[in-house]
Structure 1
């Protein structure tokens, strides 16, 4: 998949998160795509850089960031400026799919029939710690597929997070990520609403996405009611703006020119 770049925005907040990241990178390297890792944290990234596998397809950028909130949408947009392949994927540092599903999404976009694709059917399955450790030992997707009925749905049956692929030019033309979402929120829903307002056709591949379990801090744990309300107020506001004639995110699209 040489016409594809994966963007992995990360903040390594635990050893488990680092283990998951390394396993996911190992999986993505097998696709022959470019991988752009962007880490934002208070440290300088030296230790993580040393642990990453070598390869001309893998690029690592560290941004010093003292903010306890991981401004994920912003850092995705920073990385997106560096992408020059036909297709780009934004990928969480702890998710996996069958490679056949990934290729189905990739080919759906290259065909021109779709602008964007989710490489899974909406089932987002969370492994428990025992299965996470087993995958780290084997790196065998067949094991996860075999026991998928033992895993819990993490976010219902029609999830739109975790990872997606999209035509790079179309992604940039739509303004990339909506930076009005600061921290962990429903930006995944906003993104789909925005693409649909642009008339983008969205494909789904058959099969689940697996989430490697990990501890959660403020950037992934339960939201307070106030923060939840703020997030969904922004979601409704973004939907209203997308339904207008001008469906660009305010001030976002010029960063890609």
Structure 2
């Protein structure tokens, strides 16, 4: 495709633990979607107990790939986002989930706000996060036509209503680093999305949202895609509250300590 939109100043960052065939199919489809529409940079960090080279062989050659040996069955999302950001060399980045499709126009508006210095962080959707269902997912995979998703929104299930914030976001890299990047006290799935937005706002960063939906390519939910224990959920919620009650000065001192952990 010769008329791709230039996003060479952006890197899409993925972290991956292949816990199902659906997960593998989804990340390949999402990367295909991004690569079809944009001339951009894509970085995939895979964590697994050994490197079978399957993901590397299936990814397009232009995708940067990094493997980390990790025997933990739970993907420590925040830790690996931080590692990915360390390897990012572009002024802007997108932290992207393996299963997320968003209209190219919403993506472009997000990047333009960063380029024009109208925002430091942008969620590329606002209205709804919609789970595709297995049937619509299959139809999209067969056609690779975004209209399949747009025309069937009424048949999809809303995720995390009424104000979903997960799935992906764009950031000015320098401002993201200043904000502490990710809070590694969040281990596994859940709660970190809300915490980081609270943190950005407390620190005085500019956060905006683009109107339009997010489409989530459905998949089975293993231990890395749900709260893996009630105790862990309690710990995460306590951390959300701890950060939320801090002043700007307290939070600035807090994030300075995170790199020491």
TM range, normalised to the smaller chain? Answer: over 0.9
If the length of structure 2 is used for normalisation, what is the TM-score?
Answer: 0.92
SS of the aligned residue for 1:70 comes to coil
Aligned CA-pair RMSD: 1.6
Q: CA deviation at 1:219?
A: 1.1
Give the alignment of 1:49-198 within 5 angstroms: 49-55=56-62, 58-198=63-203
Aligned-partner SS, 2:196: helix
Q: C-alpha distance in 1, partners of 2:175/2:52? A: 32
Q: Give the C-alpha shift of residue 175 in structure 1.
A: 1.1
Indicate yes or no: 2:75 matched with 1:36: no
Question: Which piece of structure 1 moves more, 233-242 or 201-210?
Answer: 233-242
Which portions of structure 1, spanning 4 or more consecutive aligned residues, are displaced by more than 6 angstroms?
A: none
Q: Find the aligned partners of 2:68 and 2:145 in 1 and give their Cα distance.
A: 33
CA distance in structure 2 between the aligned counterparts of 1:115 and 1:198, rounded to whole angstroms = 11
Q: 1:15 and 2:28 equivalent?
A: no
Residue 92 of structure 1 and its aligned partner are, at CA, apart by 0.2
Shift of 1:242: 5.4
Match for residue 249 of structure 1?
255
Partner of 1:48 in structure 2?
55
Is contact 1:2-1:34 (8 Å) kept?
Answer: yes
Conserved in 2, the CA contact under 8 Å of 1:176 and 1:252?
no
2: distance between equivalents of 1:243 and 1:126? 36
Tell me if 1:234 matches 2:245.
Answer: no
Residue of structure 1 in register with 2:4 after alignment = none
Q: Distance in 1 between matches of 2:259 and 2:111?
A: 24
Structure 1 residue matching 2:224: 3-state secondary structure: coil
Q: Aligned with 2:149: secondary structure?
A: helix
Corresponding residue number in structure 2 for 1:2: 8
Question: Partners in 2 of 1:237 and 1:131 — Cα distance?
Answer: 40
CA 1:144–1:190 in 2, change beyond 3 Å: closer, same or farther? Answer: same
8 Å Cα contact 1:36/1:59 also seen in 2? yes
Shift in Å at residue 87 of structure 1? 0.7
The Cα shift of 1:253 comes to 5.3
Could you tell which deviates more after superposition, 225-234 or 15-24? 225-234
Q: For residues 10-60 of structure 1, what are the alpha-carbon distances to aligned partners after superposition, in whole Å with 9 as ceiling and x for unaligned?
A: 1011111111110001012131110010011112040111111222xx101
Instruction: Return the alpha-carbon distance in structure 2 between the equivalents of residues 240 and 222 of structure 1.
Output: 24
Contact 1:124 1:157 in 2 (8 A): no
Q: Return closer, same or farther for 1:250/1:242 CA change in 2, 3 Å cut-off.
A: farther
Task: Kindly report which structure 2 residues correspond to 1:195-214, keeping only aligned pairs within 5 A, or say none.
Answer: 195-214=200-219
Q: CA deviation at 1:181?
A: 0.5
Unaligned runs of 5+ in 2: 1-6
Please, what TM-score do these two structures have when normalized by structure 1? 0.94
Number of residues of Structure 1 aligned to a counterpart in Structure 2 = 253
